[in-house]
Amino acid sequence: MRRVLLVNKFYYPRGGDCVVVLNTEALLRDNGVDAQVFAMEYPDNLPARYSEQFASEVAFGGGVGNLLRALGRTMGMGDVRSRFEAVLDDFKPDVVHLHNIHSYLSPVVGELARKRGIRVVWTLHDYKLLCPRYDCLLDGKPCELCYKGAKCNVLSHRCMKGSLPASAVAWLEATKWNRRRLEKITDLFVCPSEFMAAQMKSGGFDSSRLKVLNNFLDPVKYKQYQSLDSTAPREDYYCFVGRLSHEKGVADLLEVAARLPYRLKVAGGGPLADELRGKYGSCGNIEFLGMLDAHAVARLLSGARLSVIPSQWYENNPLSVVESLCAGTPVAGSQMGGIPELIDSENGVTFQAFDMEAMATAITMSMTRQWNHADIARHAMQRFSPEGHLRALMNDIYAF
């Protein structure tokens, strides 16, 4: 039996990276691969075979002592080395599949695996290998100052929460784990979007080590979306599903929605939730639904005439777009990151980010157009199927 060790800083559905890890683990196990996990100790983690060997928890807040321990972790110091090696000794993986490992774990795990001759692949969920801050944002706008090696920009702009100490930690981490060192330990960087691959090339990474592989719908969700009737009449609303935060562009969307004649349903939570509810809660055509579970999201999308993704940062391969298309719902998305490569003339429209007039025009055009919802769903379900993803993993990524 083939053995794959998945490595991610957390092991519970905390964010998109964690969800991908959990889905990949299940997909591999369901298809005869022994998939195990290495992560950082954390109270919310799910049970795992190697839980007792997980790296001890570190935190970047709570005083100088915590910061020093966290700094040591970013440098690959402390028990992360011994505990990871213990897992390698016992599990003897054929492949170590890295995911989101910076800061709370460390790229040292890839280095240790590579020294043993184990194949190391790395799925990129954000831009940490290019940008010490990870999201390529400076004052709320896209930034690529650190791409060519000038990582000191993170210090001069205090990119990490406006804090010089936190920014210094990010600078030290980026300096130690530079491009040349990371390329030496990684056989293949898996890019969920063409945009991510292009950014990595722009940052000097070897194009021969970059492989594009979109995210996928996990088998449970896949069956759920298969059961939807994409030919059913749509209700008279459009929707936003996602985090209510500045980089998602949701504040601009609500300003636009308040002056359009269509109903908008907003699903999700985040740091802007209270502010946006206070400002737009009394608008008769805007409804806040709060956090929804997967089934409720599927129902919301399958009833909508349109979903809007107004992001103002370099989205990678957003599941919000993937799930909307699998529900047969067209997407009006900003021309940011990997969003445009998911949208064509038959499944949606794109508009210039930060341009509210362009967004309003895109929404109006989409809401008044007749879409072939069944075709949108069929093409998306083929593109993002777990079976196709598994074939690509086994043949192209793991090289089994």
Q: Report domain extents, the chain.
A: 3-216+385-397, 219-383
- Going by pLDDT thresholds of 50, 70 and 90, the confidence category of residue 165 is confident
Residue 263 pairs in a beta bridge with 237
Cα 54 to the center of its chain, rounded Å: 23
Task: Report pLDDT digits (tens) over 79-134.
Answer: 999 999 999 999 999 999 999 999 899 999 999 999 999 999 999 999 999 999 99
pLDDT top residue among 71 and 200 = 200
Task: Report pLDDT digits (tens) over 326-379.
Answer: 999 999 999 999 999 999 999 999 999 999 999 999 999 999 999 999 999 999
Q: What number of other Cβ atoms are within 10 A of residue 60's Cβ?
A: 19
pLDDT for 150 equals 81
Query: What is the reported pTM?
Result: 0.94
- The answer to whether residue 172 scores a pLDDT higher than 80 is yes
Residue 80 parent element (H or E)? helix 79-91
Distance (Å) of CA 12 to CA 9, 38, 40, 49: 10, 12, 11, 14
Residue 119 pairs in a beta bridge with 95
pLDDT for 14 equals 92
- The answer to whether residue 253 scores a pLDDT higher than 90 is yes
The two structure tokens encoding residue 120? 């190391």
**Nearest in space to 307 (alpha carbons), one of 255, 342, 348, 337:** 348
Is there a contact between 38 and 84 (Cβ–Cβ < 8 Å)? yes
What CATH number should be reported for the domain whose range is 3-216+385-397? 3.40.50.2000
Name every residue whose Cβ is closer than 8 Å to that of residue 44 and which is 6 or more positions away in sequence: 10, 12, 14
E strand intervals along 195-315: 210-212, 237-241, 263-267, 286-290, 306-309
Residue 313 parent element (H or E)? none
Instruction: Report how far residue 72's alpha carbon sits from residue 21's, in angstroms, rounded to the nearest whole number.
Output: 25
Which fold is adopted by the domain 219-383?
Rossmann fold (3.40.50)
Common-topology check for domains 3-216+385-397 and 219-383: yes
- The answer to whether residue 202 scores a pLDDT higher than 90 is yes
pLDDT top residue among 50 and 60 = 50
- Going by pLDDT thresholds of 50, 70 and 90, the confidence category of residue 149 is confident
Q: Which residue has the tokens 């980089």?
A: 247
Query: What percentage of residues in the chain have a pLDDT greater than 90?
Result: 89
Between strands 119-123 and 137-138, the pairing is: unpaired
